[in-house]
Amino acid sequence: MKTFCFTVDDNIRFLQSLSAGKEESLFENPYLALFKHLHEKYDLKVQLNLFYELSGFDLSQMPDRFKAEWEQNAHWLKMSFHSRLEKKDPYISADYEEVYADCTAVRHQILRFAGEKSLGKTTTIHYCQLTPNGIQAMQDLGVQGLLGLFGSDKSPYSSYSLPENDCALLRKGEILQRNDMRFYSLDLVMTLYDTESLLRRLQTFLHRDSLRVMIHEQYFYPDYHAYQPDFAQKLDLAFDFLTKNGYESCFAEELT
């Protein structure tokens, strides 16, 4: 079976909106409604990686009145830790205690307002950098896998303190187990492509049995300085293309 994983980074604005509104359902929120539509159309599974806070809001302010609905949809919609806040390379030199504390803060709130079923077992750390001690903190909190960016053969890049020989394997699509942590490549960042070039790029991966694709929340919103009005169209085109080429959606934690 050919599979693809879909994750979304930098999430918090939709939770701020839900906390301030009077919605009776999660899916009255336009952002979540988009993902529900794509789930119903493509059997899509979605993981949202969360910030803990932004100016004027943090996850402790998110009400738990939707908890039952989160749990009912946890088979296709999960959340996980991303970073405490929007900041470049927040954990590139962070010690065990800082990573443990920030991850715990996000996980505690997910459990409170959405329940254990909604907590993903893998994640992408903001800017994909952790020290070995930071990785150990994630392991101790039950995180089983980390998705990262590894560049290309021409422009190599290392995530999570991994050596170049491991990064080279990850670029080829392999999944690596190092100690008690699994590592996966993020093969395609959809915010970097328009709809036409996105499909051309996806075409180059069709020889692989497994792909990991992602996007960022903020590009969904018209008030964001780099708003992408084709946000929904890109997702629909990508998932239509992948499913027509024999791929099924899964969470990274379901990959073997």
The pLDDT tens digits of the residues spanning 203-241 come to 999 999 999 999 999 999 999 999 999 999 999 999 999
Q: Which domain holds residue 205?
A: 2-254
Quick one: what percent of the chain has pLDDT higher than 90?
Answer: 98
Q: What is the pLDDT of residues 95-111, one digit of tens each?
A: 999 999 999 999 999 99
Residue 256 has pLDDT above 90, yes or no: no
Q: Which CATH number is 250's domain given?
A: 3.20.110.20
- Total domains in the chain come to 1
* pTM over cut 0.85: yes
* Secondary structure, 3-state, the chain: CEEEEEEEEEECHHHHHHHHCCCCCHHHCHHHHHHHHHHHHHCCCEEEEEECEECCEEHHHCCCCCHHHHHHCCCCEEEEEEECCCCCCCCCCCCHHHHHHHHHHHHHHHHHHHCHHHECCEECCHHHCCCHHHHHHHHHCCCCEEEECCECCCCECCCCCCCHHHHHHHHCCCCEEECCEEEEECCEEHHHCCHHHHHHHHHCCCCCCEEEEEEEHHHHCCCCCCCCCCHHHHHHHHHHHHHHCCEEECCHHHCC
pLDDT band for 253, please (50, 70, 90 cuts).
Answer: very high
Q: In the prediction, which pLDDT does 164 show?
A: 96
